[in-house]
Amino acid sequence: MHNHLDRNLIGYGAHPPDPQWPNEARLAVSFVLNYEEGGENTILNGDPGSEIYLTETPGGVPLQGARDLSTESIYEYGSRAGFWRVLRTFGERNMRFTSWAVGRALELNPAAGKAMAEAGHEVASHGWRWINYKDFTLEQELDHIRKAVKAIKDTAGKAPVGWYTGRLGMNTLKAVVQHGGFLYSSDSYNDDLPYWVRVEGRPHLVIPYTLDVNDMKFAVTPGFTQGDGWLQAMKDAFDVLYAEGARSPKMMSVGIHCRLAGRPGRAATLARFLDYVASKPRVWVPTREEIARHWMTVHPSP
């Protein structure tokens, strides 16, 4: 078990552990809904400039000291319409997701946190704000963690047990472990299975995430331009992992955003992939909390 700041280029190597997924599943598919709208960069939140990341118009520079009304409006679509469309899409198929929920975003729209919790989804933390934490001190991150946990508990009725910052800093995981109360974090993209690290002498479970089939690639270059490209990428990833799962089961993560996958055309693509997953036997679609609790039972910390 390595220190979390040491690079580990070896991992499980040629012999990954058997996750022993429930019901002999060959693949665990984790869907993640990023709920960020309202927590992004804007002078309304006290930031120096506007947001430019993950919108329908990639690139550009932030407006300093001013609001970008167009970008704000794109984000608003996610909370006003896209979120509810995604929630219905999963609900119609009785599938559950984990939400990376930004604390400030839920504070501005508490109905979203309540709706996810009532539908049985996991509301995990995506930080207090959807900003870059690379220059934050440990004390500043701890303060934001406390605010994020409170916002989620106030809206979803339960403190988060999972964490993902996304735009993290050197102190992020240290702050997460010091705060306590989290079963796992996901600020990693380096494996197809969970693994343990050591943070200041304490074991901590990492459940890796992924960006390769993430809908964020509709908003970066190069990326997806049509739903067919996203669907094919998801199917190909699923098929490879599902085939490997006959002898060595894995997990797959699919990241979605309210303002991106929540748009009608992309929501149709998401629905097609959900139906594709549902059509296959021996597939488990858990929340990440369920994955964490299962892993801790089958593969407890060294």
Residue 78: its pLDDT value, please? 98
Distance CA 183, CA 65 (A): 39
Residue 149: its pLDDT value, please? 98
Cis peptide before 281 (omega within 30 of 0): no
- What's the pLDDT tens digit per position in 46-70? 999 999 999 998 888 999 999 999 9
Residue 59: its pLDDT value, please? 83
Q: What is the dihedral of CA 68, 70, 76, 77, to 10 degrees?
A: -160
Residue 5: its pLDDT value, please? 79
Of the pLDDT bands very low, low, confident and very high (cuts 50, 70, 90), residue 44 is very high
7 within 8 A of 229, measured Cβ to Cβ: no
Residue 58: its pLDDT value, please? 86
- What's the pLDDT tens digit per position in 1-26? 778 878 999 999 999 999 999 999 99
Share above pLDDT 90 across residues of the chain, in percent, rounded to a whole number: 94
Average pLDDT over residues 127-148: 96
Average pLDDT over residues 221-235: 93
The strand pairing partners of 206, in sequence order, are 185, 195
Residue 1: its pLDDT value, please? 73
Q: What is the mean pLDDT of the chain?
A: 96
Residue 302: its pLDDT value, please? 86
Distance CA 215, CA 271 (A): 13
Residue 256: its pLDDT value, please? 98
Residue 60: its pLDDT value, please? 86
First to last CA, the chain: 7
Of the pLDDT bands very low, low, confident and very high (cuts 50, 70, 90), residue 75 is very high
**What letter represents residue 288's amino acid?**
R
- What's the pLDDT tens digit per position in 116-125? 999 999 999 9
User: Cα 169–173–174 angle (5° rounding)?
Assistant: 105
Average pLDDT over residues 254-273: 97
- Given a cut of 90, whether residue 299 has pLDDT beyond it is yes
Average pLDDT over residues 195-209: 96
Of the pLDDT bands very low, low, confident and very high (cuts 50, 70, 90), residue 85 is very high
Residue 116: its pLDDT value, please? 98
Of the pLDDT bands very low, low, confident and very high (cuts 50, 70, 90), residue 250 is very high
Question: From start to end of 202-271, where are the E strands?
Answer: 202-206, 250-257
Distance CA 269, CA 211 (A): 17
